[in-house]
Amino acid sequence: METRIYNRHDVKNNLSQIRKEYSRRSLSREAVVEDPLKQLQQWLDESIRSEVMEPTAMTLATVSKQGRPSARTVLLKEITKAGVVFYTNYHSRKAQQLTIRPFAALVIFWPELERQVRLEGRVEKVAPEKSDKYFRSRPYSSQLGAWVSNQSEVIPNRSYLEKKMEKLSERFKQHSMHRPSHWGGYQLFPDRLEFWQGRRSRLHDRIEYLKEAKGWLIRRLSP
């Protein structure tokens, strides 16, 4: 891959000149499998084997009741036969927006592989038993963090969190920790996915899957 290197002062004053030429791989219609979630699993497995930084990081975009979009990073925790699963606080801003408008978009970007996957679809909470099972698999500190943080709530300072952490830590020394009811999983059921492979001259490869009654329509898009 060709990479142009710039003087720091030049970059600061001329962001339009920052670019890379993508040339690692190509992507054709013949190269992808018929099931997009299996294709996603293949790409995820390859990203993990390649030791890319944060291979499960996804940008999640939701929409408020006023139609304002917002986005943040969440972690992919499972690819099922029907969709992808992530976990969060059910009182968070994203969760509130998903309650009002249960549709979302996800973007996974692996810059080291010059690849991106986009997913769009309906979102539903996973079964409580599934959330319980995943919660039990988390490290103790992460379990405790789910109890401590009322995600997206305004707090006075950092020490507020630390004191709450200490208090709850003492509490759970006496009692076993279970999943808080305000924390759990969501599954996005995609009806549209796009696999993007960077190519030279910005003529990138884009393969789109559209869900239809009889299965998936697969087609190539212009870059």
Q: Residue ranges per domain, the chain?
A: 18-221
Q: Phi and psi (nearest 5°) for 101?
A: -130, 95
- C-alpha to C-alpha distance for 160 and 116, rounded to whole angstroms: 39
Residue type, 80: T
Beta-bridge partners for 195: 117, 207
- C-alpha to C-alpha distance for 55 and 46, rounded to whole angstroms: 9
In this structure, which topology does domain 18-221 adopt according to CATH? Pnp Oxidase; Chain A (2.30.110)
How is residue 113 annotated by DSSP? G
pTM: 0.89
Catalytic positions, written as ranges: 202
- C-alpha to C-alpha distance for 22 and 4, rounded to whole angstroms: 12
If phi over 0 gives left and psi between -120 and 50 gives alpha, with beta otherwise, what is residue 152?
Answer: left
| Model pLDDT for residues 81-122, shown as the tens digit of each residue | 999 999 999 999 999 999 999 999 999 999 999 999 999 999
Residue 113, both tokens: 């592989």
pLDDT of residue 17: 78
Only one residue has tokens 């099922």, namely: 80
| Model pLDDT for residues 5-40, shown as the tens digit of each residue | 445 556 666 887 787 888 888 999 999 999 999 999
SS3 3: strand
Q: Are 196 and 115 in contact (CB under 8 A)?
A: yes
pLDDT of residue 5: 47
- C-alpha to C-alpha distance for 223 and 170, rounded to whole angstroms: 55
Residue type, 48: I
